[in-house]
Amino acid sequence: MLGSFSYKNPTTLYFGEDSLNYLSSELSKYGKNIQLVYGGGSIKKNGIYDKVVAILKANNKEIFEDAGVMPNPTVKKLNEGIRIARENNIDFILAVGGGSCCDYAKAVSVSVYCDDDPWEKYYIRFEDVDCKVVPVGCVLTMAGTGSEMNGGAVITNSESKLKIGHVFGDNVMPKFAILNPEFTFTLPKKQMVAGIYDIFNHICEQYFSGEDDNTSDYISEALMKSIIHSSKIAVLNPEDYEARSNIMWTATWALNTLIAKGKSTDWMVHMIGQSVGAHTNATHGMTLSAVSLPYYRYIMPYGLHKFKRFAIEVWGINDANKTDEQIAQEGLSAMELWMRELGLTMNISELGVNNDMLEGIVDGTIIMDGGYKVLERNEILEILKLSL
Ligand code: NZQ
Ligand code: ZN
């Protein structure tokens, strides 16, 4: 049952080779002082920085640089961003980069006028925003997180070794996002495939829940088929515009609230992966790929019907002579083969995890209850051991 809900997504998307042309008209809606958020310098190398700055200057904007947003942005960096925004009376935050820059921009946006400690308020107590929010826009350079059209903002506390996401509401979602698939061409292959798996797993996290007949599952299957198809083309030819554009568009729709409608949603791969990330600072998509198969093989018996459907609808497996369990297992084997073909990291040892770290990773894993099995602490430990 889809149940009852209202639906709107407030982010305006501009998609395609000419999408940056729309930045001017969007910027004209906001004040003069722009906080320009970007990462470690990739946008300077590939020329996107120059293009964006030229548009900002042509619109007579005052630019306040906020560079050096690291993959998996930290509380320390967040505090720096808040300071920049407060000191310069920022009117608008423009993130130019991947999910880390978009997430960080949103985290700054809800913290500038917050009297409380943002980490404690949003990430430990999970409270809602009750202060003015600085509007955010995004020029996306990496496809994966869906941050360009959602309210998610994941922040890492390096001291307490916690990586936590807060999903904020409509008022925090980017006002607009500019999606030019060509901007993703310069991504290193490792980042591209990590993003591809992140997209795929976002869909799985929503798909593997519920027993009802739900339109969201049919949309999810189509998105999964598209990402598998395009990924195979993009790994061979990263500059295949058609494949890269399909990947970018799928990423947005995989996590912009649409396919979560009517779903209780799982999110345990992300919870375990995020805790692995907090302990290793590894690339987000690789933390997911490293724990996925042990997790899905573990919960498969509890959601057998859905895993069978996944095998048939997504991986084209069917054989009247096989049991449901055999078909479901073959689906996961096909998924494993695809993941290995992409060159994803398939175990957490490669990310720097050793036996001594497992208890700490379990401690940092938030347990969700929307999937086919609510995990106990010892089960998370078991899955981590199988992921080593
Ligand atoms: O920092 P720069 O120099 O820009 O380099 C980045 C970074 O090193 C590089 N990059 C990005 N675009 C590039 C490029 N290099 C060359 N050419 C380009 N066009 O790629 C590296 C990774 O970038 P990052 O933004 O960290 O990757 P991603 O988009 O995967 O974002 C990861 C963060 O998003 C969070 C993750 O936990 C992680 O902190 N997530 C956010 C979600 C959300 N908002 O809903 C959901 C996700 O599940 C995820 O948790
Ligand atoms: Zn993710």
Q: Which of 13, 23, 48, 349 is nearest to 187 (CA)?
A: 48
- Check pocket membership of 266 for ligand 1, CB cut-off 6 A: no
In this prediction, residue 147 carries a pLDDT of 98
Euclidean distance between CA atoms 250 and 234, whole angstroms: 14
Q: What is the pLDDT of residue 2?
A: 83
Q: What was the pLDDT predicted at 298? A: 98
Q: Per-domain residue ranges for the chain?
A: 12-183, 189-387
CA of 24 to the centre of ligand 2 (A): 30
Question: pLDDT of 330-369, one tens digit each?
Answer: 999 999 999 999 999 999 999 999 999 999 999 999 999 9
Question: Cα separation of 267 and 203, whole Å?
Answer: 10
Ligand 1 site, residue 99, Cβ cutoff 6 A = yes
Quickly list H helices, the chain: 23-27, 42-45, 48-58, 75-87, 99-109, 118, 189-207, 215-236, 241-254, 268-280, 284-299, 304-315, 324-342, 358-363, 377-387
Q: Is the CB of 273 under 6 A from ligand 1?
A: no
Query: Whole-prediction pTM value?
Result: 0.98
- Cβ-contact 246, 224 below 8 angstroms: no
Atom of ligand 1 nearest to the CA of 184: 19
The candidate with the shortest Cα–Cα distance to 234, out of 244, 245, 225, is 244
Residue indicated by tokens 């093989």: 297
For residue 217, count other CB atoms closer than 10 A to its CB.
23
Say if residue 27 is exposed, middle or buried (CB neighbours under 10 Å; 0-12, 13-18, 19+): buried
The stretches in the chain having pLDDT less than 50 are none
Angle, alpha carbons 361-364-366 (nearest 5°) = 120
Atom of ligand 1 nearest to the CA of 73: 39
**Which numbered ligand comes closest to the C-alpha of 78?**
1
Type of residue numbered 167: V
Give the largest CA-CA distance in the chain. Answer: 69
Sheet of strand 33-38, all strands in order from the earlier edge strand to the far edge: 12-15, 176-179, 136-140, 92-97, 33-38, 62-66
Q: Is the CB of 146 under 6 A from ligand 1?
A: yes
Amino acid 3: pLDDT? 86
> What was the pLDDT predicted at 319?
85
Identify the residue whose C-alpha is closest to ligand 1 atom 13. Answer: 187
| Centre of ligand 2 from the C-alpha of residue 201, in Å | 7
DSSP state of 181: G
Question: What does residue 157 show for φ and ψ, rounded to 5 degrees?
Answer: -100, 100
For residue 334, give both structure tokens.
């096909």
* Nearest residue (CA) to ligand 1, atom 41: 145
DSSP label at 62? E
- What lies within 8 Å, CB to CB, of 189 at 6+ separation is 235, 238, 343
pLDDT at position 166, please? 98
Confidence (pLDDT) at 320 = 86
Q: Which fold has domain 189-387?
A: Dehydroquinate synthase-like, alpha domain (1.20.1090)
Residue type, 312: I
Candidate CATH numbers 1.20.210.10, 2.40.50.1020, 3.40.50.720, 3.40.50.1970; the one for domain 12-183: 3.40.50.1970
Strand partners, 38: 96
